[in-house]
Homo-oligomer: A and B are copies of this chain.
């Protein structure tokens, strides 16, 4: 395809991607009382083989030909990494400050139960065949599935807690801390799985060593290193100069993490956490969030949706696999968090709220499983099943949380 034709097709693709994302997002919000992101996740699936491709394979192939996949991929990567950078900007160290015994126990339960579920499920799943990539051993499969079950839609959780005005309450603190700790843990495990994928020991060493060095730098030296940027923002506001520096640091972090064999999103997220909070993080968020959320993330949903074929879970033995994974995920994350919250003395209302929020996986799940698919940890069949799990557990959250509010 010549460049002019490619450019023309690209504008048509983006028109369709954005229009479908806006419409499903609007419908989800208006008629299902769901956060917009659920609708946009579904939009991606609709544009893939599950609906558009099943309905008209020719039109789908004409709108998303193979030539354009690299472009969608690259923009999706940049967008999702920027989104994780923005999530990192909102990830305050004090979210980790476990100021109640309760938070620690809920965190542990919300990580231990998913891994127990993974330990129990993986032998059975490996027996089914065709779910995990070739050469993936039981340990790697368990770590990855555990992380996929344990992950929480932290940004969504933080927003709901903020919107409901329960930020200072025990319920809010427990959910926020447990979500943050659980997500950090899940990401570490995914990074370990990625590092061990290299059969080559030198490459694995580079991945582990480089990843640890990067994380250590961002956690211990980063805040001091970037303090100057924070001071500049406090004095002069966030201008294009600061935005440019932040974007260069982001691109460099994403490149470094990709190059050592981890993943760009870790670079973005860790950099975001290391940025000084206050005017800088607020200003960067304001400058980057609209384009990232409205324009770039739908590329990620679409790229992800183009690889999702929900028809694989539509019948036969894979339907059982899908139902078992869904049930295990809800019980191991939502159920365990609920029980742990009850155990530390939370009311039924508060414990149900915590369990519900911890159980919503949203975009974070999509990010993890896209990494798994790209790196060959999971096959398209398990990928599609986990997309379904991500959508269902995210859809459950709003009605269940509403329900919990009616408990006195």
- 28 contacting pairs across A/B (C-beta < 8 A): A3-B73, A3-B374, A6-B70, A6-B73, A6-B74, A7-B73, A7-B74, A7-B258, A7-B264, A8-B258, A10-B78, A11-B77, A11-B78, A11-B251, A11-B252, A11-B264, A14-B78, A15-B248, A15-B251, A15-B252, A22-B241, A22-B248, A26-B241, A36-B240, A240-B290, A247-B295, A287-B291, A288-B291
- Chain B positions within 8 Å of A292 at CB level: 291
CA distance A10 to B254 in the complex (A): 10
Does any Cβ of B come within 8 Å of A293's Cβ?
Answer: yes
**A212 at interface, CB cutoff 8 A:** no
What's the dominant secondary structure at chain A's contact region? helix
Contact assessment for A18 and B240 in the assembled complex, using a CB-CB cutoff below 8 Å: no
Residue of B nearest to A260 (CB): B8
> Chain A residues in contact with chain B, CB under 8 A?
3-4, 6-8, 10-12, 14-15, 18-19, 21-22, 26, 36, 67, 69-71, 73-75, 77-78, 240-241, 243-245, 247-248, 251-252, 254-255, 258-259, 264, 287-288, 290-295, 374-375
- A67 contacts which chain B residues (CB < 8 A)? 70
Partner of A291, one of B10, B70, B291, B374: B291
Question: A264 to B5, alpha carbons, bound, how many Å?
Answer: 12
Residue of B nearest to A259 (CB): B8
Contacts of A375 in B (CB 8 A): 4
| Given A7-B73, A8-B258: A290 and B243 interface contact (C-beta under 8 Å) | yes
Nearest-neighbour CB distance to chain B for A8, whole angstroms, equals 4
- A247 x B294 contact (CB < 8 A): yes
Count of this chain's copies in the oligomeric assembly: 2
B71 lies within 8 A of A240 (CB):
no
Residues of B with C-beta under 8 A to A18: 244, 247-248, 251
Q: Determine the residue in chain B with the shortest Cβ distance to A81.
A: B11
For A3, A15, A19, the residue with the greatest tally of chain B CB atoms inside 10 Å of its CB is A15
- B75, A75: Cβ atoms under 8 Å? yes
Determine the distance from Cα of A217 to Cα of B263 in the docked complex, in whole angstroms. Answer: 46
Contact between B11 and A374, CB atoms less than 8 A apart: no
Smallest Cβ distance from A300 to chain B, in angstroms? 12
**Cα of A356 to Cα of B336 in the assembled complex, Å:** 71
Collect the chain B residues with CB atoms within 8 Å of residue A247's CB.
18, 294-295
Q: Known contacts A18-B244, A22-B244, A240-B294; decide if A74 and B254 are in contact (CB<8 Å).
A: no
Contacts of A259 in B (CB 8 A): 8, 12
Beyond the given A288-B290, A291-B291, could you list 18 further A-B residue pairs with CB under 8 A, ordered by the A residue number? A4-B258, A6-B74, A7-B74, A7-B77, A7-B258, A8-B258, A10-B78, A11-B78, A11-B252, A11-B254, A12-B251, A12-B259, A67-B70, A70-B70, A243-B290, A243-B294, A247-B294, A287-B290
B15 touching A240 by the CB < 8 A rule?
no
**A291 to chain B: closest residue by CB:** B291
Contacts of A252 in B (CB 8 A): 11, 15
Residues of chain B within 8 A (CB-CB) of A6 are: 70, 73-74
Residue from B12, B71, B255, B291 within 8 A of A15 (CB atoms): B255
Say how far A240's CB is from chain B's closest CB, in angstroms.
5
With A18-B247, A73-B3, A374-B3 known to touch, is A255 a contact of B290 (CB < 8 Å)? no
A12 partner residues in chain B, CB cutoff 8 A: 251, 255, 259
